[in-house]
Amino acid sequence: MSGTAFCFDLDGTLTSTEILPCIAAELGIAGEIATLTRLTMDGHVPFEDSMRLRTLILGQVPLSRVHEIIEAVPLSTELQAFVNDHADRCFVVTGNLDIWIAPMIARLGCRSFSSSAVAAPGGVQLQSILAKDDAVRRLRREGGYERIVAVGDGANDVPMLREADIGIAYGGVHAPAPQTIAVADIVVNDASSLCKLLKAL
């Protein structure tokens, strides 16, 4: 067994803003996608339905441009440093698309579990949407970790927090969804406190 693994949601947890509205700005619909993202995070719209719709719309933006946009999305300085320093034990667990977030995963230097898609003529073809609890179960089965800590903020993080040994609802960018707080073992509202906690675990 090899100690503790840390699973992080990406959007609004490791990043200091949501990624998909940044892509949507290219199409002039940042506000609309931000609203849909917020409704999804709060559990009012099923994540799979929302992700399919957002992929269909945002897939119009060329992949090369998406990568440029994501390169410019800021990461939490403190959390990025934690992940960089513990890359062998840190994992991004996100419903976002692997082909979109590749530049950000490279910046973080850790492994990831994500939804998958391929570039297709005129857009993006969605192949699978990640179930976050499946990612934790796979990590537990294949990684040999004694304990798994999960950090997230949205309703779609609830299964991940439930499946982990320690679930942390994080409000560093915006307030965690009530459902996320309800299943969390710990609630933390700033990056500095979160990093201190993670280092102590």
Q: How far apart are CA 78 and CA 193, in angstroms?
A: 10
pLDDT value at residue 35: 92
* 98 domain residue, yes or no: yes
The total domain count for the chain is 1
* 58 domain residue, yes or no: no
Token pair, residue 82, equals: 């934690």
State the helix-helix crossing angle for 191-200 and 77-85, rounded to 10 degrees: 20
Q: Which domain holds residue 80?
A: 4-17+74-200
Q: Is 33 helix (H, G, I), strand (E, B) or coil?
A: helix
Per-residue pLDDT of the chain (201 residues; tens, 9 = 90+): 469 999 999 999 999 988 999 999 999 998 998 898 889 888 899 988 999 999 999 999 999 999 999 999 999 999 999 999 999 999 999 999 999 999 999 999 999 999 999 998 888 999 999 999 999 999 999 988 999 999 999 999 999 999 999 999 999 998 999 999 999 999 999 999 999 999 998
The domain that holds 84 is classified in CATH as 3.40.50.1000
pLDDT value at residue 120: 87
| Nearest 10 degrees: Cα torsion 138, 139, 143, 148 | -140
* 113 domain residue, yes or no: yes
